[in-house]
Amino acid sequence: MSNLRKGNRPNYRKMHEGDADSDPEPENLQTQQPVKVEKKSTSVSSLLFVEENISEDDDMLQMMAELEQLEKEEIQLKKQQEKEELRIKLNKKRAEVKALKENHLEVLRMDLRNSNKRAYAVGSRRNLRVQWESFLLFCLFFKFCSLPTSTETLQLYAQFLSRSFKSVDSIKNYISGVRSVHLLLGYNIEHINNFLLNLSLKGIAKSIPHIVKQAEPITPDILMSIHSFLDFSSIDNYTFWCLFLFAFFLMARKSNLVPTSSKELSEPKFLLRKDVSFDDSTLLVSMKWTKTIQAGERILITPLSPIIGSVLCPVEAYKNMINHIPASNHSPLFVLKSSKPVTYYKFLLKLRSVIEGIGLDSKLYSTHSFRRGFATLAFRLEIPPDLIQLMGDWRSDAYKRYIQYDIKDKIKVSRFVSKNLLSYKGKV
């Protein structure tokens, strides 16, 4: 007992773990004190039970800590997953908004292109393209820089055009086309020396003198001959006769009367059946688009009065046409029996045919001859120039070029001056 108390106690932990050899039992324990050894066995069992409980508690704590750690990781992973899903949704929404913006921007750009395109008439755009292609070919052949061009290049180009063009005005139009394309593409043309360029054009004009050829005017006598030549057993001739009279009395341009091609039928700028109405016995013809009305800023209304007892009556010609060839209000004004519209080609072909038929040279006449003919007639009837300009929808004095003056007009002026000279207040 005294030995046990002094530090010779057995190591119960090692005994529990089965390491009996490492610490042998004292020999006198089994013989001398059996009862007390049994008590010690009971204490060892209790200690073992406590240690087992402690070990289980450690395992529980470890598992709880691990579970807590896993739960934290799970929460973190869920947050990352939610963040990734949110990022995906955000990117998708950004892409949708971007596509929507790009779509709106593309629509806006398309509208801008259409607006810029509408700034020029179809014929003007076509001419501009031809003029620019001509300049490009010139620059490629002579290896000149086309964009931006120089004063010398434009001078040489004008000289080059003079070899094939008879009028210096045509050369100026081509030079103007080159200028326009430069401005449309954002190039500055302030470096062009206009004085030198105009000097070249003036010299070219003197080297190729040219008299502008104009179509001969169609007179009332010619119209009478055309009416006699037409065979009205053919229903289509009612349409052509009405077209001829409208072209004459309205002084209308060809683009206001008939379409140039079938492509223009979708956006008509020519007369429709609904554009002609009656005001008692007078016809009122409304034009919403002309050479001087490009943006629909006004409507040109021209009256056509009846000429009683004459085959030249435009009102009677119109009635005959709509009676023989009826059509809807949205139909072109001049249609044939086949319901097809009269195009410019058919208009010109028919005019040349009837001009040849009455014994005149068709090369001297065009559809513009009607406009020139009425302007000349109005001048001969001493209608004031302002009214002629108003009726023909001219903005400038360009209408004067449509009037055919001859020696009789000059003789009339000379006789008028001779007759009234002495009665003039400021006598000489």
- Residue-wise pLDDT tens for the chain (428 aa)? 444 444 455 554 555 444 444 444 444 444 444 444 445 556 666 666 666 666 777 778 888 888 888 888 889 998 888 888 899 888 888 888 888 888 888 888 888 888 887 787 777 888 999 999 999 999 999 999 999 999 999 999 999 999 998 889 999 999 999 999 999 888 988 999 999 999 999 999 988 877 777 889 999 999 999 999 999 999 999 999 999 999 999 988 888 999 987 777 877 889 999 999 998 889 999 988 887 777 777 888 889 999 999 999 999 999 999 999 999 999 999 999 999 999 999 999 999 999 999 999 999 999 999 999 998 888 888 888 888 888 877 777 766 666 666 676 667 666 666 566 666 554 44
Half-sphere exposure of 342 (CA within 13 A, CB side): 29
pLDDT of residue 30: 45
For residue 60, the Cα-to-chain-centroid distance in whole angstroms is 79
Check whether domain 220-415 has CATH 1.10.4160.10, yes or no: no
Domain with CATH 1.10.443.10 in the chain: 220-415
Q: End-to-end CA distance of the chain: give it in Å, rounded.
A: 175
What's the rounded Cα separation, in Å, for the pair 379 and 404? 9
What is the model's pLDDT at position 423? 64
Report the alpha-carbon distance of residue 86 to residue 92 in Å, rounded.
Answer: 10
Angle between helical axes of 122-142 and 168-184 (0-180°, round to 10): 90
DSSP 312: T
Among residues 286, 274, 276, 344, the alpha carbon closest in space to that of 122 is found at: 344
Q: What is the pLDDT of residue 244?
A: 97
Q: What is residue 28's predicted lDDT score, i.e. its pLDDT?
A: 46
Calculate the alpha carbon distances from 34 to 24, 45, 90, 98 in Å.
Answer: 17, 17, 83, 94
- What is the residue whose two structure tokens read 């240690």? 51
Nearest to 213 by CA among 257, 243, 169, 251: 169
